[in-house]
Amino acid sequence: MIDIRRARETDAEVISELFHIAYGDSYFYPQYYDIQALKRMILSDDTLFLVAEDSETETVLGTASVVLEVGAHADLVAEFGRLVVHPKGRGQGIGSQLMQARIEFVQDRLHVGIVENRSAHEFSQRISHQHGFHPVGLLPNKFQLGDRESAALYVCHFGHALELRRNHPHLIPEVYPLAKLALENCQLNCDAIIEAEPRAYPHFHQFEVQEMESELYPVLLRFERGRIKQREIFGRMRLHYGLFQLRASHAQYLLAYRDGLMVGAIGFSIDEHERTGKIFELVSLDDSPIYFLVSELVRRCREEYSIDYLEADVSAFSPQMQQTFLENGFLPAAYIPAMIFHEVERLDVVRMVCLLTTWNGDSLQVFEPGKAIADLVDQSLRLRTALPKLMQAVNTAPLFAGLSEEQQQYVAASAELETLEEGHVLFRPDDPADKIRVIISGEVEIQNCHGKTVGTIGVHESLGDLASVSEPSHRVSARVKSEGQAMLFSRDALQQLVHTRPDIGMILFRNHACELADKLQRMNVHALFKQE
């Protein structure tokens, strides 16, 4: 028989031992090895610690906790985590019992519960899903456990949280697919409005930067109180928490000055053990220092702080801030509905991640309900590696002539990079016409149904476009004549692109018509030459 009870101060040593057994010395929160730190957390009102105990032997076989008030301004957000079961207790449903008990203890005290489940196995993901938590994101390489390990982010809403949710978030196109999946997973209709032509904050660089020292705290506090109009970045910490709390949490600020006057500040915390960072606040006199502060922090994380993972929770109602983070190397990794309490409503949040280490998603083990979101984040990360080559193709191929820089980035983000191996047949007659390629390098030979060559597709030209527009299947075959690379669009991806960005669709259709006319003329001349 297993009893679930609140942890007592005397349980600290047993809890620490459980983490040693489960993780060795590499658990990503070292305070769970520290007996005194554990005792303080057990006695704290901000942390709920539970243990699972064998009623006969009084042996502690598992533990789990809830960190309350992880949001600023009493956002009623709690993190469910630190679930550990002793090997002797596995297979007895202890993990599920601990999750159910945690919910019963704290559900009257919060609106939003979040869980960062390990992605190395499905155990914790299954437990979260069984107890009403829904997958809303994948946090890539967030944890340091030997090699870096990702987390599947799950969320559960309590009380009146969803009734207080503000409708119709405004999202940049890169965030929308993730938001749609997350909202649907939470049984919500996707009511997001896509910003067709998002603009980042302006690029200015004429600022001096200073790290905040103790004597600057009162100055920055007065500055912040007078400058916050509409918060766009959220986090547990705030400058109002006080200098002592900021120091205790390893929080720092970079201050931007122009002509000796403070014009902006970005607050962030660094975990040197985990090599991770989180942006929790950004305040400014006007729009001018915002882009600079984000860029400068990313540079320092990469070059000075040796950070592998940096995240920020961005308002789903601020496409300008979303675009600013995107242009500075961040990608949308999670979408959390109704996470932040602001004035009289709860706002959706986009968790954006800047990965400063190599991504390899091959070891992911994602529970079925979260696979679509995990695949989407994985695809975005892999695309980021291929993006320079794709951008080069967009810059030079006639099909994309006339696109603005922002439009080019959006098109490149909708494609995949494909390797073309010499002799490989890309499609044959009657194969589905569901892909369009733009050749980056190499050549592709087009043959009719009799095996005769009727044309060659070279660098910067498109392949499969005629069939995908006019017919469901191909009437010719395509074979790689010389190896190279291609920019690959699925028909669905192209249709989604045109649907969400009609401004891009108009340009593509115009260029497509011109290229088809040129291609057909060349093929007719080639056929005429063959007859002669």
Domain ranges of the chain: 2-160, 170-367, 397-531
CATH class name, domain 397-531: mainly beta
Do residues 364 and 378 touch, judged by C-beta distance below 8 A? yes
pLDDT of 532: 45
**Contacts of 375-378 spanning 24+ positions with Cβ under 8 A:** 376/177, 376/178, 376/181, 377/137, 377/138, 377/140, 377/178, 377/331, 377/332, 377/333, 378/138, 378/140
> Environment class of residue 223 by beta-carbon count within 10 Å: exposed (0-12), middle (13-18) or buried (19+)?
buried
Q: In whole angstroms, how far apart are CA 92 and each of 64, 118, 518? A: 15, 20, 69
Task: Identify the CA nearest to 464 among candidates 519, 521, 384.
Answer: 519
| Closest by Cα among 154, 219, 157, 200 to 366 | 154
Fold of 170-367: Aminopeptidase (3.40.630)
CA dist 414 and 497 (Å) reads 7
Does 170-367 match 397-531 in CATH topology? no
Distance CA 281, CA 268 (A): 7
pLDDT by residue, tens only, the chain of 532 residues: 899 999 999 999 999 999 988 888 877 778 888 899 899 989 988 899 999 999 888 899 999 999 887 655 468 999 998 899 998 888 889 999 999 999 999 999 899 999 999 888 899 999 999 999 999 999 999 988 767 889 999 999 999 999 999 999 999 999 999 999 999 999 999 999 999 788 999 999 889 999 987 777 777 777 776 555 578 988 876 665 555 566 656 788 899 999 999 999 999 999 888 899 999 989 898 899 999 999 999 999 999 999 999 999 999 999 999 999 998 999 999 999 999 988 789 999 999 999 998 887 777 889 999 999 999 999 888 877 777 778 888 888 888 899 887 788 788 878 888 889 999 999 988 888 888 899 999 999 988 888 888 888 899 888 886 655 666 788 889 999 999 999 898 888 888 888 878 888 889 888 888 877 776 676 565 554 454 4
For the entire predicted model, the pTM comes to 0.78
Domain 2-160 coded CATH 3.40.630.30: yes
CB 431 within 8 A of CB 491: no
Which amino acid is present at 443? E
What pLDDT does 529 receive? 44
What lies within 8 Å, CB to CB, of 104 at 6+ separation is none
The pLDDT, as a whole number, for residue 470 is 61
Torsional sign, CA 72, 77, 78, 80: negative
pLDDT at 145: 73
pLDDT at 369: 94
Residue type, 509: F
Q: Rounded to whole angstroms, how far apart are CA atoms 128 and 295?
A: 36
Query: Would you state the structure tokens that stand for residue 429, as one six-digit string?
Result: 């007659």
pLDDT for 75 equals 82
Report pLDDT for 55: 86
Is 185 exposed, middle or buried, given 0-12, 13-18 or 19+ CB atoms closer than 10 A? buried
Gap between the Cα atoms of 59 and 428, Å rounded:
66
